[in-house]
Every structure is written in C-alpha cells, then in structure tokens.
Amino acid sequence: MTEDSALLESRVLVVGAGGLGGYLGSVIHRRDVKVHLVARGPHLAAIRAAGLTVVDGETVERYAIPASATVPPVRPGDVVFVTVKSYALGTVVADLARLGNAGAWIVPLLNGVDTGTALTAAGVPPDRILLGVAYLTAFRTGPGEIERRGRHGRLFVGSRVSAAGAGARFVDAVWAALEAEGIDVVETDDIERESWRKMLVVSALTGACARLRRPIGAVLATTSGRRFVADLVAEASRVGRGLGVRLTDEEDAHALRVLEAFPFDFRPSLIHDLTQGVPTEVEALNGALCRFGETVGVPTPVHWEAAEAIRAAQREPPGTFRLA
C-alpha cells in the first residue's frame, strides 16, 4: 500500500469541531483524508448549509465536510480527535468508549492533565488511547467559521507502543497529512511530562490574564504582573512534582520563555469564553491545580486567587467581562 492510498482510505472523526477541532479537520481534509465533524447548534447548521469557513492568515477557504450532532460509527483503525472543552468531556465519554472498543484510536487534545484517567474510567480501552498535547491556536469566531491565530503548530502524542502492523497505517496517514500542512507531530514516551509542560503555560496564561484583566503582554510589562506569572508557574510545577511528574527548574524557565514569546495582545481561549459569557475550563486548569495541591500537600494560594477571579467573572452578566 502506498502512502497516498493510505491517505485516501483512512478516516478521521472530530468530536467537538470548534476552533482547534475544526481547524485540524479542515487541514486533514485538504490532504484527501475522509473527515467527519461532530458539532452542534448554529455551528452545525452553518457547516451543513454552507461548509466550514477557515481563516488562516490572509487565506480564507470553505470546506464541504460531512457533519452531524451525533457520533457516527467507526471502523477499526479510524482516528478520533477529541477536542471538546474539558467540562464537556462527560457528555461524550460513553460514545468514546464505544468507538475505542470498536477499534478506533482515541486522541484527546483537551486542556488539563487528567483526561486519560477520565477516559479509562469511562471504559475506553487504554491501548486505544493516544494522549495528545496540541500547541495551536484557533477560535470559532461565528457559526461555521474558524480562525487560526499565530503560526505555531505542534502536536505531541503518546508513544504508540501497541499501534503496530496494519492498524498503525491509519494513524501514520493522519500524521503525514498534518505534517504536510505544516503541523509538526512529535511522538514521545513521556506524554505526562509534556501535558504538564503545557499545563504550566496555560494555567499561568489563563490565571494571569483573567485575574489582572489584561492581555499577556500587558501583564508581563509590569513588575507585579511578571511576578504573578512566575508565581503561577512555580506553584503549578511544585504540584506536578508532588504528583511524581518529572519536572525540573528548566521546565519552569521554558514555560516563562513561552509566555514571553506570545504577541503583546494575545489572550487565551478562556478569556474569549469569558467575553462571550460561556462556560470556561477553569476547573481543568487553575481549579484542578488547587485540588491536586490539596491531595499532595502543596499549597496553591496563587492558583486559588486566579481560580476565584475566573469563577467570579463567570457570574457576571454575559457580555460584561472585558480586558483593560
């Protein structure tokens, strides 16, 4: 079988075709891989009526990709990207268990560090889970519309120890499609560490921007803001080490370098959710760190402050949250 024929035969299901999921689905679709999107509400209606519109820099493309509100059946070897918000995982885990038991590869790309535990507890076979960590920013800007922001694009995935033989060719085809579209796919034998490396960045980014109500560049431009960010990173790192994760001082320094590299006016998706008056992932990020810290005896006063600020903002009337 040639690589091209593998690309044509493989199929990808995107459960949660919002910003990240919709973008990944669109770029894989461009490589002649069969893609199906699972979405809901006006977003689903717009995709069905006029296709998925993707803004990527100066390029605007529209893609006719099949979409539904329900999760369709899969074939053994199909790849299922799970890109719902972390708080919505419970609404799809039964479907994911069904798909995993049917032989699909389940690739969760959610914020937070305990998705694998939740999937396994729900009945997804552990040997069908390929844990992923995505570094790619894309937002759903309207019904049927996705916009990519920034040029970074990298996907870390857990080592496919059991993905040998014929079944692996479907995964390889999808990885090849992503890399052909400029998204690096890196396989790692320590996906937990990679998950925590991202957790250091995202929890500090969301916590600082929400607590101080400024984009990350404005936060880091002040001495007090920079100290708050550094404290968020250090506190999360101590929690991770308390849980046995291989984190070092270099991980802390790397997280700070990543945060400093964001554009001055960059704001994370949690801020976008607050401004839209929709639920946020605070309990998978700052809230989770507080819970983990209590479990291992690591104080988390800075993340508690950030989490409480986000929870308070969620209680504000929709449309009232704004960055300074």
- Note the pLDDT tens digit of each residue in 195-252: 999 999 999 999 999 999 999 999 999 999 999 999 999 999 999 999 999 999 999 9
Number of domains in the chain: 2
Please state at what angle helix 249-261 crosses helix 223-242, rounded to 10 degrees.
Answer: 140
Q: Are residues 117 and 217 in the same domain?
A: no
Instruction: Give the domain-ending residue among 148, 174, 189.
Output: 189
Q: Are residues 209 and 295 in the same domain?
A: yes
Give the C-alpha distances (Å, rounded to integers) separating 141 from 33, 161, 167, 184, 322. 25, 38, 36, 25, 17
The pLDDT, as a whole number, for residue 189 is 86
Rounded to an integer, what distance in angstroms lies between the CA atom of residue 91 and that of residue 120?
15
Q: Are residues 170 and 237 in the same domain?
A: no
The pLDDT, as a whole number, for residue 67 is 96
The pLDDT, as a whole number, for residue 169 is 63
The pLDDT, as a whole number, for residue 10 is 58
Q: Write down the H helix ranges in 133-285.
A: 168-180, 191-212, 216-220, 223-242, 249-261, 269-276
Instruction: Give the domain-ending residue among 154, 189, 224.
Output: 189
Query: Would 250 be classed as within a structural domain?
Result: yes
Helix (H) or strand (E) holding 310: helix 301-314
Task: Quote the pTM value.
Answer: 0.90
Q: Are residues 26 and 9 in the same domain?
A: yes
Domain containing 308 equals 193-314
User: On the CB side of 209, how many CA atoms lie within 13 Å of its CA?
Assistant: 27
The pLDDT, as a whole number, for residue 4 is 43
The pLDDT, as a whole number, for residue 165 is 41
Q: Are residues 181 and 44 in the same domain?
A: yes
Which CATH number does the domain housing residue 244 bear? Answer: 1.10.1040.10
Rounded to an integer, what distance in angstroms lies between the CA atom of residue 67 and that of residue 44?
7
Q: Are residues 17 and 141 in the same domain?
A: yes
The pLDDT, as a whole number, for residue 172 is 82
Q: Are residues 21 and 168 in the same domain?
A: yes
Query: Would 128 be classed as within a structural domain?
Result: yes
Q: Are 166 and 9 in contact (CB under 8 A)?
A: no
Predicted confidence pLDDT, tens digits, the chain (324 residues): 343 444 445 589 999 999 999 999 999 999 988 999 999 999 999 999 999 999 998 999 999 999 999 999 999 889 999 999 999 999 999 999 999 999 999 999 999 999 999 999 999 999 899 999 999 989 999 999 999 987 889 999 985 444 444 346 668 888 889 999 999 999 888 999 999 999 999 999 999 999 999 999 999 999 999 999 999 999 999 999 999 999 999 999 999 999 999 999 999 999 999 998 999 999 999 999 999 999 999 999 999 999 999 999 999 998 899 998
Q: Are residues 185 and 210 in the same domain?
A: no
Q: Are 109 and 15 in contact (CB under 8 A)?
A: no
Six-digit token string for 123:
């009945």
Q: Are residues 184 and 225 in the same domain?
A: no
The pLDDT, as a whole number, for residue 159 is 59
Q: Helix, strand or coil for residue 263?
A: coil
Q: What is the DSSP letter of 129?
A: B
